[in-house]
């Protein structure tokens, strides 16, 4: 091992391949670091992963707040990774990535991967974005995501008034996403006989079917009302499904072409749908000039292959807490860029550790990056237990990229301990 200077060492880490091949600890000539424990606590509703090492460094990852049941799935991987060097991120991931699957099962693997990068950055003394290839932007765009205002009704005027509140939000968003169609049950049930089936109950977004003329015109009128408020100052993206027929998706998209909508998301398949249906998406995509988007439910690059290679969508939206982690998402972004496809990452439930991971990753994504979905700390006391975030986090729709090692955020452990349940009281020990 040559006796490199710190500058030369950091230069050698500027490529993702270098880090993943050699391991940060080895490149820096440090004593190898070993994983001694894998822990998981449900803090609020977010499963939080802690990887403990023999050198007193811990790394943290987080899964979506919609998955408070994830703890046993995370701990399943403990025996696979204890004893490994956490800075050999790719080597550790080879042991567990094949054991994940479409959400929610890939979430545990993804949270572990993010925690590994947190450790790797701390060991190297650099922010994670340096290990992912270095930043190409100093600030990153995020769209509204978890920032929402209660609806007072379901008329076009109600949606216009709600969009005015979004426009005036303190974050200063330059892009706003709103749920419509089958992704918004309240909208679809806001008028009688909006589609040719009866409302269903069960898991998220169970409704599906051919829209009536009345239903389709109603959804279009709500979108028109929102866009009139936003004008050309702020972009409007629409979270649409799943549940639309191909015929309705094409008719809807073509009707919105004059409005310059940023994208139509998950209009064919989507949340918790364990297949991407590339051929059907491609039919919709080729039929309109409005960008078609999907991907939040997809785990691993292999399951984006058809969507990208068949030009089935214009925008992919993997979630780093579901897709397999940061390196996996960086690979997908690069491959999408080669095919002229944009990326707008999902992240509405990703929490504050997830927010830090998004910022580090977005700084290093290629120029096909649009913006990520902004998560909040929920409950509100999350902002008292995490240190290192800027205040305010967002200014005029952007977040300045910080340079602290690892993810750049840490727990205020005394404050965080006070929020642990009895079952997780030893999480920080």
Answer yes or no: do 147 and 169 share one domain: yes
Pairwise CA distance, residues 105 & 23, whole Å: 27
Q: How many separate domains does the chain show? A: 2
Mean pLDDT, range 353-364, rounded to an integer: 98
40: confidence class by pLDDT, cuts 50, 70, 90: very high
pLDDT of residue 167: 98
Mean pLDDT, range 99-107, rounded to an integer: 93
Mean pLDDT, range 370-381, rounded to an integer: 98
3-state secondary structure of 346: coil
Angle at 35 between CA 34 and CA 36, to 5 degrees: 110
Pairwise CA distance, residues 226 & 223, whole Å: 5
203: confidence class by pLDDT, cuts 50, 70, 90: confident
Q: Are 297 and 103 in contact (CB under 8 A)?
A: yes
Q: How would DSSP label each residue in 318-342?
A: --TTTTT-HHHHHHHHHHHHHTT-E
pLDDT of residue 1: 38
- Of the two residues 122 and 202, the one the predictor is more confident about is 122
Answer yes or no: do 159 and 279 share one domain: yes
Answer yes or no: do 201 and 335 share one domain: yes
Residue 267 resides in a domain: yes
4: confidence class by pLDDT, cuts 50, 70, 90: very low
Question: Within 10 A of 193 (CB to CB), how many other CB atoms are there?
Answer: 9
Answer yes or no: do 81 and 188 share one domain: no
Question: Within 10 A of 56 (CB to CB), how many other CB atoms are there?
Answer: 7
15: confidence class by pLDDT, cuts 50, 70, 90: very low
**Residue 23 to residues 81, 117, 135: CA-CA distances in angstroms?**
15, 11, 20
Q: Assess whether the previous peptide bond of 337 is cis (omega < 30° from 0).
A: no
Whether pLDDT at 11 is above 60: no
Pairwise CA distance, residues 96 & 358, whole Å: 22
Pairwise CA distance, residues 40 & 58, whole Å: 12
CA atoms lying within 13 Å on the CB side of residue 237: 29
Whether pLDDT at 17 is above 70: no
Mean pLDDT, range 255-269, rounded to an integer: 98
**Token pair listed for 154:** 């379901």
Q: What pLDDT digit, counting tens, does each position of 285-294 carry?
A: 999 999 999 9
Is-above-0.75 flag for pTM? Answer: yes
Whether pLDDT at 26 is above 60: no
Residue 429 resides in a domain: no
Answer yes or no: do 78 and 148 share one domain: no
Percent of the chain at pLDDT above 70? 93
Mean pLDDT, range 88-102, rounded to an integer: 97
What are the DSSP E strand ranges found in 214-265? Answer: 235-239, 264-265
| Residue 57 belongs to domain spanning | 6-131+419-424
Residue 75 resides in a domain: yes
Beta bridge partners of 41: 48
Closest CA to 60 of 111, 128, 124: 111
Answer yes or no: do 160 and 108 share one domain: no
2: confidence class by pLDDT, cuts 50, 70, 90: very low
Helix orientation angle between 89-96 and 105-124, rounded to the nearest 10 degrees: 160
Answer yes or no: do 59 and 203 share one domain: no
Answer yes or no: do 81 and 184 share one domain: no
Q: Looking at 40-44, 272-276, 352-356, which range is the least confident one?
A: 272-276
Q: What pLDDT digit, counting tens, does each position of 138-197 carry?
A: 999 999 999 999 999 999 999 999 999 999 999 999 999 999 999 999 999 999 999 999
Pairwise CA distance, residues 406 & 418, whole Å: 25
**Token pair listed for 158:** 């109600």
pLDDT of residue 202: 86
Whether pLDDT at 14 is above 70: no
Closest CA to 361 of 399, 312, 305: 399
Pairwise CA distance, residues 42 & 16, whole Å: 31
CATH number of the domain that 112 lies in? 3.30.390.10
Residue 202 resides in a domain: yes
Answer yes or no: do 163 and 299 share one domain: yes
Pairwise CA distance, residues 51 & 74, whole Å: 11
Answer yes or no: do 252 and 271 share one domain: yes
**Pairing relationship of beta strands 175-179 and 235-239 according to DSSP bridges:** parallel
3-state secondary structure of 176: strand
Residue 56 resides in a domain: yes
Helix (H) or strand (E) holding 43: strand 35-43
Answer yes or no: do 326 and 209 share one domain: yes
CATH number of the domain that 249 lies in? 3.20.20.120
Q: Are 385 and 415 in contact (CB under 8 A)?
A: yes
**Average pLDDT of every residue of the chain:** 93
Answer yes or no: do 150 and 92 share one domain: no
pLDDT of residue 29: 58
3-state secondary structure of 70: coil
272: confidence class by pLDDT, cuts 50, 70, 90: confident
Whether pLDDT at 133 is above 60: yes
Residues 6+ apart with CB under 8 A from 367: 136, 337
Sign of the dihedral defined by the CA atoms of residues 97, 98, 99, 102, in that order: positive
Question: Within 10 A of 43 (CB to CB), how many other CB atoms are there?
Answer: 25
Residue 1 resides in a domain: no
Pairwise CA distance, residues 158 & 279, whole Å: 36
Whether pLDDT at 243 is above 80: yes
- Of the two residues 350 and 202, the one the predictor is more confident about is 350
């Amino acid at each position: 091992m040559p006796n490199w200077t710190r500058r030369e060492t950091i230069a050698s880490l500027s490529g993702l391949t270098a880090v993943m091949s050699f391991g940060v600890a080895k490149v820096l000539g440090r004593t190898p670091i070993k994983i001694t424990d894998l822990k998981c606590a449900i803090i609020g509703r977010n499963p939080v992963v802690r990887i403990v090492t023999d050198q007193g460094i811990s790394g943290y990852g987080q899964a979506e707040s919609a998955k408070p049941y994830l703890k046993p799935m995370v701990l399943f991987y403990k025996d696979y990774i204890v004893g490994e060097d956490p800075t050999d991120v790719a080597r550790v991931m080879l042991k567990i990535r094949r054991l994940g699957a479409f959400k929610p099962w890939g979430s545990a693997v993804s949270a572990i991967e993010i925690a590994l990068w947190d450790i790797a950055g701390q060991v190297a003394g650099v922010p994670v974005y340096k290990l992912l290839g270095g930043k190409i932007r100093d600030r990153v765009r995020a769209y509204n995501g978890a920032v929402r205002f209660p609806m007072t009704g379901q008329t076009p005027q109600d949606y216009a008034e709600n969009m005015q509140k979004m426009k005036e939000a303190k974050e200063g968003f330059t892009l706003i996403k709103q749920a419509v169609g089958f992704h918004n049950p309240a909208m679809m049930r806001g008028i009688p006989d909006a589609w040719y089936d009866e409302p269903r109950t069960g898991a998220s977004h169970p409704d599906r079917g051919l829209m009536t003329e009345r239903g389709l015109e109603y959804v279009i009128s709500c979108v028109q009302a929102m866009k009139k408020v936003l004008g050309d100052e702020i972009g409007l993206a629409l979270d649409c499904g799943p549940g639309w027929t191909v015929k309705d998706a094409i008719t809807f998209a073509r009707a919105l072409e004059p409005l310059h909508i940023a994208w139509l998301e998950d209009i064919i398949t989507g949340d918790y749908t364990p297949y991407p249906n590339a051929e059907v998406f491609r039919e919709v995509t080729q039929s309109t000039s409005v960008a078609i988007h999907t991907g939040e439910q997809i785990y691993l690059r292999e399951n984006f292959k058809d969507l990208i290679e068949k030009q089935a969508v214009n925008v992919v939206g993997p979630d780093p807490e579901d897709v397999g982690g940061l390196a996996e998402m960086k690979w997908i972004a690069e491959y999408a860029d080669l095919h002229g496809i944009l990326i707008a990452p999902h992240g509405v439930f990703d929490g504050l550790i997830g927010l830090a991971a998004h910022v580090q990753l977005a700084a290093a994504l290629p120029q096909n990056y649009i913006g990520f979905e902004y998560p909040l700390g929920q409950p509100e006391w999350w902002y008292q237990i995490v240190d290192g975030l800027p205040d305010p986090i967002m200014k005029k729709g952007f977040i300045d990229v910080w340079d602290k090692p690892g993810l750049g955020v840490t727990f205020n452990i005394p404050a965080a301990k006070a929020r642990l349940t009895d079952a997780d009281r030893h999480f920080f020990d």
